[in-house]
Amino acid sequence: MFENLGDMGKMLEGMQENASKLQAELESKTFGVKTGGGMIELTVNGKGEVIDLMIDDELLSDKDSLQILLIGAMNDANKMVQQNQQSSAMGMFGGLGGANPFGGNK
């Protein structure tokens, strides 16, 4: 009755290892966003942390525009990170015999 438990343990170990590799891969990626015709350049890593920011000197005297462009750049960068995480996770789950882990049919 319990002869398949060893296989299940190996499968879970493999999934955990794949998840760790995926996390490391996601963290190593970077995403760049430009707004305002390149007046703001924002770079984030795969965890969504800002790792670089360039602001054109012309924006320093226009606080309102600076705020709007920064918010837009941060939102765009966060969307890119989320989409990458989702597509990477779906790719990992796709290796589970084609089953959709979220229900429904393919």
C-alpha pair distances (Å), 64 with each of 38, 50, 58, 73, 97: 17, 21, 12, 14, 52
Is 93 a member of any domain?
A: no
Q: Identify the top-confidence range among 1-5, 31-35, 82-86, 93-97.
A: 31-35
Q: Are 85 and 79 in contact (CB under 8 A)?
A: no
Is 8 a member of any domain?
A: no
| CATH code at position 49 | 3.30.1310.10
Is 72 a member of any domain?
A: yes
pLDDT of residue 13: 80
Residue 99 DSSP code: -
Share of the chain above pLDDT 70, in %: 80
Domain of 81 in residue numbering reads as 28-86
Q: Residue 19 pLDDT > 80, yes or no?
A: no
Q: What is Dmax (Cα atoms) for the chain?
A: 74
Cα–Cα distance for residue pair 65/62, rounded to 1 Å: 6
- Counting the structural domains of the chain, the total is 1
**pLDDT band at residue 105 under the 50/70/90 scheme:** very low
26 closest CA partner among 92, 94, 96, 72: 92
